[in-house]
Amino acid sequence: MSAENGRAGAERAMENGAAQAAPWWERRAEDVERLIGKYPNSRSAIMGLFWMAQEERGYVSDEDLNWIADKLGLTRGYVDSTITFYSLYHLQPVGKYTIIVCNNVICGLKGSEGLVQELERLLDVKVGGTSADGLFTLQTTGECIAACDGAPALQINQEYFHKVTPERAKLIIERLREGAELEALSEEIGLTKPGAVWEEGD
Amino acid sequence: MAHPLEMRVLTQGIGEVDLTRIENYEAQGGYAALRKALKQMTPQDVQAEVKKANLRGRGGAGFPAGVKWGFLPDDGRPRYLACNGDESEPGTFNNRMLIEFNPHLLIEGILIAAYAVRASKSFIYLRGEFKKGARVLEDAIEQARAKGYLGDNILGTDFSQEIVVHRGAGAYICGEETGLLSSLEGGRGEPRNKPPFPAVAGLYGMPTVVNNVETLCNVPFIVERGADWFLSIGTENSPGTKLFSVSGMVRRPGNYELPLGITMRELIFDVAGGLLPGRTLKAVQPGGASSPVLLPEHLDLPLDFDTVQKAGSILGTAGVMVFDETVCMVRTALYYADFFSHESCGQCTPCREGTAWTARLLRKIERGQGTMEDVEVLKSLDTLMSGTTICLLSDFSKTFLMSVLKHFPEEFEAHIKGRACLAEQPQEVRSA
Ligand SMILES: Cc1cc2nc3c(=O)[nH]c(=O)nc-3n(C[C@H](O)[C@H](O)[C@H](O)COP(=O)(O)O)c2cc1C
Ligand code: SF4
Ligand code: FES
Q: Provide ipTM, 2 decimals.
A: 0.94
Burial class (CB in 10 A: 0-12, 13-18, 19+), A12: middle
- What string of DSSP letters covers A59-123? S--HHHHHHHHHHHT--HHHHHHHHTT-TT--SS---SEEEEEE-SHHHHHTTHHHHHHHHHHHH
Distance (angstroms) between ligand 2 centre and the Cα of B180 equals 13
- The closest ligand to the CA of B178 turns out to be 1
**What would the pLDDT profile of B315-331 be if each residue is shown by its tens digit?**
999 999 999 999 999 99
- Tell me if chain A has a CB within 8 Å of the CB of B167: yes
pLDDT of B397 strictly over 90: yes
Q: Evaluate the CA torsion angle B185, B190, B193, B198 in order and state its sign.
A: positive
CA distance B303 to B284: 12
Ligand 2 mean position, distance from CA B354 (Å):
11
Spacing, Cα B426 to ligand 2 middle (Å):
35
Q: Is the pLDDT of residue A99 over 60?
A: yes
Mean pLDDT over the full length of chain B = 96
Q: Does B252 touch chain A (CB under 8 A)?
A: yes
B323, β-bridge pairs? B283
B248 to chain A: nearest residue by CA? Answer: A106
Whole-number pLDDT of residue A194? 74
3-state secondary structure of B149: coil
Chain B: closest CA distance from residue A200 (Å): 5
Mean pLDDT check: name the lowest of B144-148, B258-262, B427-431.
Answer: B427-431
* pTM higher than 0.90: yes
CB distance from B250 to chain A under 8 Å? yes
Nearest to A81 by CA among A67, A91, A95: A91
Q: Which of A12-26, B320-334, B413-427 has the lowest mean pLDDT?
A: A12-26
User: What domains are defined for chain B?
Assistant: 22-231 (3.40.50.11540), 241-324 (3.10.20.600), 329-430 (1.20.1440.230)
- pLDDT for A197 equals 47
The CA distance from B130 to B141, in Å, is 16
Decide: A148 in ligand 3 pocket, CB within 6 A: yes
Q: What is the identity of the amino acid at A109?
A: L
The top-level CATH class assigned to A97-189 is alpha beta
Closest Cα in chain A, distance from residue B92 (Å):
6
**Residue ranges of A 142-171 with Cβ closer than 8 A to chain B:** 142-151, 155, 157-160
**pLDDT tens by residue, B79-137:** 999 999 999 999 999 999 999 999 999 999 999 999 999 999 999 999 999 999 999 99
Q: Mean pLDDT over all residues of chain A? A: 90
Count of residues in chain B? 432
- Domain locations in chain A as residue ranges: 3-83, 97-189
Distance CA B155, CA B157 (A): 6
Contact B268, B318 (CB under 8 A): no
Pick from B290, B351, B357 the residue to mutate for probing ligand 2's pocket: most ligand atoms within 8 Å of its CB. B351
Query: Hey, whose CA ends up nearest to atom 20 of ligand 1?
Result: B59
The number of beta carbons lying within 10 Å of the beta carbon of residue A185 is 17
HEC profile of B166-213? EECCCCHHHHCHHHHHHHHCCCCCCCCCCCCCCCCCCHHHCCEEEEEH
Interface subset of A 9-48, CB within 8 angstroms of B:
38-41, 43-48
How many Å apart are CA A17 and CA A11, to the nearest integer?
Answer: 10
B-facing residues of A in 64-83 (CB < 8 A) are 72, 78, 81-82
